[in-house]
């Protein structure tokens, strides 16, 4: 009986499984694909990871702008009109939120990734984070100044 | 014996892209994505942007921003799919989509920035 049953199971599967003798059986609980909804910190993690999609979208948007500018005045005006259409505007609003979230989490984590020592003493993490934020402010001001025509 | 992988290189590209994206994309997306379309600020004229893009330094910065940001996306999105959605069995397909997309996007960025008149 058991033999026949095993035979049937064996035939039902395309390949006979390779058994290892004396191997312990794993006990693995199935993880739900929605595990990150259960805790705020996990949700923050996933939102931070999702910010990368908006980073990629902005690269596409930027390249469309570059392409429009190099095709001439008319194409540039068309691009400006297109970027004001509700769908694109909404996407870009979400992009601003996610990209700022990316920047804040990135700069706040920097002290953990970057250990700077001066004369054997470790520079406090708050200083590293502060210098990152200062660089962010400086670069933003520079970009705004250059873009808006100085 | 440990196998040599390109994982460290991918991680360096990821973090370089993370820094550049964090420094540059917030201000650029506020200006071009929201402030100009909503009329909060007057958008720069065509002549001015053309002159700006004509400078090698701005093309270089934009090229690095585009390329590294795309690799940043590729690396992070790959792990989002791994961990978030628990799809590990589609490994090769995901890698192809992510890093392949980053390579194609970088080539497009190089071409578009190079052909600016």
pLDDT at A58 over 70: yes
Look up the domain containing A150 and give its range: 114-150
Whether A33 has a pLDDT exceeding 70, the answer reads yes
Interface of B with A in 46-105 (CB under 8 A): 46, 48-50, 52-53, 58, 62, 65-66, 69-70, 72-73, 76-77, 79-80, 83-86, 101, 105
Would the pLDDT of A13 be above 60?
no
pLDDT recorded at residue A18: 63
Interchain proximity A53–B66, CB inside 8 Å: no
pLDDT band at residue B117 under the 50/70/90 scheme: confident
User: Scanning every residue of chain B, which has its alpha carbon at the shortest distance from the alpha carbon of A54?
Assistant: B73
Chain B closest-CA separation from residue A114 CA (Å): 12
Q: Is A147 on the interface with B (CB under 8 A)?
A: yes
Q: Which pLDDT score is estimated for A25?
A: 65
Q: Find the mean pLDDT for residues A103-132.
A: 83
Does some domain include residue A41?
yes
Range A43-77 burial, b when 16+ CB lie within 10 A, else e? eebbebbbbbbbbbbbbebbbbbbbbbbeeeeebe
CATH top-level class of B10-114: mainly alpha
pLDDT in the model for residue B1: 44
Q: Is A144 on the interface with B (CB under 8 A)?
A: yes
Domain count of chain A?
Answer: 2
| A60 Cβ contact partners less than 8 Å away, ≥ 6 residues apart | B105
Supply the pLDDT for residue A16.
60
Kind of pairing between the strands at A117-118 and A121-122:
antiparallel
Which residues lie closer than 8 Å to A71 by C-beta, 6 or more apart?
A: none
Contact B27 A143 (CB under 8 A): yes
Residue A113 to residue A22: CA distance in whole angstroms: 43
B5-24 per-position pLDDT tens digit = 888 899 899 999 999 999 99
Q: Is the pTM for the entire model greater than 0.80?
A: yes
Q: Does A47 touch chain B (CB under 8 A)?
A: no
Domain boundaries, chain B: 10-114
The chain B residue lying nearest A103, using CA atoms, is B22
pLDDT tens-digit map of B16-70 = 999 999 999 999 999 999 999 999 999 999 999 999 999 999 999 999 999 999 9
What span, in angstroms and rounded, lies between the C-alpha atoms of A59 and B109?
9
- State CA B64 to chain mean position distance: 8
Tokens of B91: 């490994």
Q: Are A58 and A92 found together in one domain?
A: yes
User: The domain that contains A72 carries what CATH number?
Assistant: 1.20.1300.10
């Amino acid at each position: 009986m058991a033999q026949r049953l095993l035979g049937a199971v064996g035939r039902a599967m395309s390949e006979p499984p390779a058994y290892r003798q004396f191997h312990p059986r794993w006990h693995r609980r199935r993880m739900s694909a929605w595990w990150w909804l259960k805790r705020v910190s996990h949700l923050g993690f996933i939102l931070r990871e999702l910010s990368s999609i908006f980073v990629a979208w902005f690269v596409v948007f930027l390249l469309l702008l570059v392409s429009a500018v190099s095709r001439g005045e008319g194409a540039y005006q068309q691009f400006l009109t297109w970027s004001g259409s509700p769908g694109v505007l909404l996407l870009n609003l979400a992009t601003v939120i996610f990209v700022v979230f990316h920047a804040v989490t990135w700069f706040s984590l920097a002290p953990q990734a970057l250990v700077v020592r001066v004369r054997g003493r470790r520079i406090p993490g708050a200083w590293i984070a502060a210098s990152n934020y200062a660089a962010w402010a400086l670069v933003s001001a520079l970009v705004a100044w250059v873009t808006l025509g100085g | 014996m440990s196998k040599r992988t390109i994982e460290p290189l991918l991680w360096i590209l990821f973090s370089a892209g993370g820094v550049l994206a964090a420094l540059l994309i917030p201000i650029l997306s506020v200006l071009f994505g929201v402030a100009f379309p909503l009329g909060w600020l007057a958008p720069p004229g065509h002549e001015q942007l053309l002159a700006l893009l004509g400078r090698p330094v701005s093309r270089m910065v934009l090229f690095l921003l585009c390329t590294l940001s795309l690799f940043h996306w590729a690396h992070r999105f790959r792990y989002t799919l791994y961990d978030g959605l628990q799809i590990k069995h589609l490994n090769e397909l995901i890698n192809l989509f992510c890093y392949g997309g980053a390579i194609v996007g970088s080539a497009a960025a190089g071409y578009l920035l190079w052909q600016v008149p």
